[in-house]
Amino acid sequence: MAFPQPFLDELIARSDIVDVVGSYVSLQQKAGSYWGCCPFHSEKTPSFHVLPDKQFYHCFGCHKGGGVINFIMDMENLSYPDAVRFLAKRANMEVPEDDREGSGRLRKRILELNREAARFYYDLLQRDEGEAVRAYLDKRRIRRAVAVRFGMGAAPDSWDTLLREMTGRGYTKTELISAGLAVQNKNGRIYDKFRNRLMLPVVDVRGDVVGFGSRVLDKSEPKYMNTSDTPVFSKRRVLYALNLAKKTKRPNIILCEGNLDVVTLHQAGFDNAVATMGTALTQEHLRLLSRYTRELVLCFDNDTAGQNATRRALEMLNNSEFTVKVLHLPNRMEEGVAKKQDADDFIKAYGPDAFERLLNGSEGGMDFTLAQVAGKYDLGLDEQKVAYAAEISGELAKLHNAVEREIYTARAAQAAGLTAEALGLEVKRAIRRRIAADKKRQERRELNPAVSLQPQERGLRYENLRSAMAEEGLIRLLLQDPGLFGPTMPVAAEDFSSPLLSKIYARLWQDREDGYAPSIARLAGDLTAEEMNHLTAIAQKPESAANGAQALRDYGAVIRKEKEKRDGSAGDPLAAAAHTFKQKKGYGGKRND
């Protein structure tokens, strides 16, 4: 929906970007602006910059940027209208809701539908239709009180029970499909997605039921089934049971693979357990976890897939702000045969105290890597020691902290019967190779400076770099010094070579004519995320404020000259047609729609 501009201006004025960002990120003031570790990617050295005077942010690491509305959109995974409503609630402002059609209304309807479906499944679990699921819970030794705490339910063994119930309550079949609760086959038949399953509602940290996990009761496939991505659910952004784990008094959060592992751990007293929803760990998960802890314990299954998942997670967490430990689950013996097991198996076999001992003895992430690499080689053979040293030195070279690197180099050397000095030399060589590779990449960029001047997003690349650099400078000057706005534009927006920069430039002048100061935050509804990222990158580039009026004229002259060159192709029909096509290309739409 299109919100009235006066309402948006008041909302932005009441939502100071330092206050809003500071509720998610620890910020330190430096020379009139603020710096912190970026919430959108893992880092230890702050590259996230917040400018209170301009009311926008920009990360020099991952290049995300925007105003306060953009920040909430990314942090809370919300559409533009829902981010506006989120901030309005925070600022105690009433939102003009003349038009509730579109994505905002659908999101609201899906959340209401999910809540009613969760209640319906829960009620079925208590009735005769839930007998098979209750028997399954007894078999898994899950107590009724725990099932209630997690809101567990039962999906009946039928094709359309939920469909009939929810349509009877006023929800449409389209809404059921959009929520991932119903599916439609090739013949157009619509039926329940979840049938004959234990249902596990997925509740986000705000308390909304955003989706469902499920487990089949028999041996049919798939054994586990989750809600597909919907307007309110993304498996990349949701962690099962974080709504409960965020209240824990324990100093860390345990990250598991399966929902039922989490349930068993909570039942055993480990109320700090969460799980991903059938996907590998993502940056969005880490961003979410960073709000509640700085220490993660990885507790994945001890099979090959679990070990691979652990390695991938450690690579992502390397040099992040998290302290990382790995809880290694041992094999269990059955009739003299070693069997792989998960957290649920271990707790049931050995009890909570044994798991507590494992938790307290969790090894650091690098210790896990050392053990994994050492396990690949026969360190009693000289040639295997050489191969081990080559691989492990590459892993050790990734550590940025010199003291940490020295400690783990000594441990790795001891494991292979090498001296720390010898392995340390290999690590130094690995670091030099990495630095040399980085230097070559930088040299290639410097040999082709045009590449570094282009936008990060391929779809926004400039066709006329000389004109675009002048267009950027002109926009940067206007944002920097509103006094440079004169009675007329120094150059027409139609003369710009970049459709994106032309759109931004025209909007700044329109705002000025309407009596508003130029503001990046006010453009949130007009630009896509990629366009906003690029605009904040432009605004962060250095630009001298001295002789601004002359610089404005110089930039305008370059833009007009390049426009004349392009228009010089008018006598060539093919070139003219190509130019017309380029001018009509689309570059993203408004978020207000």
Q: Could you tell me how many residues make up the chain?
A: 593
Helices 80-90, 103-126: axis angle to 10 degrees equals 80
For 455, 506, 540, the CA distances from 534, given in Å and listed in that order, are 7, 17, 10
Per CATH, domain 239-369 is 3.40.640.10 = no
**Percentage helix, strand, coil for the chain under 3-state DSSP, each rounded to 5:** 50, 10, 35
Contact 539, 58 (CB under 8 A): yes
Sheet with 363-364, edge to edge strand ranges: 239-240, 273-276, 253-256, 295-298, 323-326, 363-364
> Whose CA is closest to 263, among 254, 255, 273?
273
Give the start-to-end residue ranges of the domains of the chain.
5-90, 103-226, 239-369, 375-447, 458-584
In angstroms, the CA 429 to CA 411 distance is 18
Could you say which of 3.40.50.2000, 3.30.450.20, 3.90.580.10, 3.40.430.10 is the CATH number of the domain covering 5-90? Answer: 3.90.580.10
- Cα separation, 197 vs 179, in Å, equals 18
Structure tokens at 453: 């001047």
How far apart, in whole angstroms, are the C-alpha atoms of residue 178 and residue 294?
A: 36
The whole-number mean pLDDT for each consecutive block of 10 residues of the chain, a chain of 593 residues, reads 81 93 91 89 86 91 92 86 89 74 77 97 95 95 96 95 96 96 93 96 94 92 92 92 95 94 96 93 87 91 86 85 88 71 90 93 86 90 92 90 89 92 93 87 62 70 88 90 84 92 92 84 88 90 81 91 80 47 40 44
pTM of the predicted model as reported, rounded to 2 decimal places: 0.70
Topology of the domain covering 103-226: DNA primase DNAg catalytic core, N-terminal domain (3.90.980)
Q: What is the pLDDT of residue 139?
A: 94
Which residues are CB-contacts of 437 (< 8 A; sequence separation ≥ 6)? none
Phi-psi region of 65 (alpha: psi -120 to 50; beta: other; left: phi over 0): beta
Per residue in 554-569, pLDDT (tens digit) is 999 999 999 998 887 5
Verify cis geometry, omega within 30 degrees of 0, for the bond prior to 222. Answer: yes
CA 327 to chain CA centroid, Å, is 25
H helical segments located in 351-498: 352-360, 365-374, 382-396, 402-416, 420-447, 449-453, 465-480
pLDDT digits (tens, 9 = 90+) for 83-139: 898 999 899 998 886 544 456 788 889 999 999 999 999 999 999 999 999 999 999
Q: How many CB atoms lie within 10 A of CB 224?
A: 16
How far apart CA 140 and CA 474 sit, in angstroms, is 66
Backbone angles phi, psi at 186, to 5 degrees: -60, -30
Domains 5-90 and 103-226 share a fold: no
Fold adopted by 458-584: DNAb Helicase; Chain A (1.10.860)
Report the Cα–Cα distance between both ends of the chain, in Å, rounded.
5
Residue 455 parent element (H or E)? none
Half-sphere exposure of 322 (CA within 13 A, CB side): 34
8 Å CB contact between 27 and 50:
yes
State residue 450's pLDDT score: 59
Give the model's pLDDT for residue 570: 46
The bridge status of strand 337-339 relative to strand 332-334 is: antiparallel
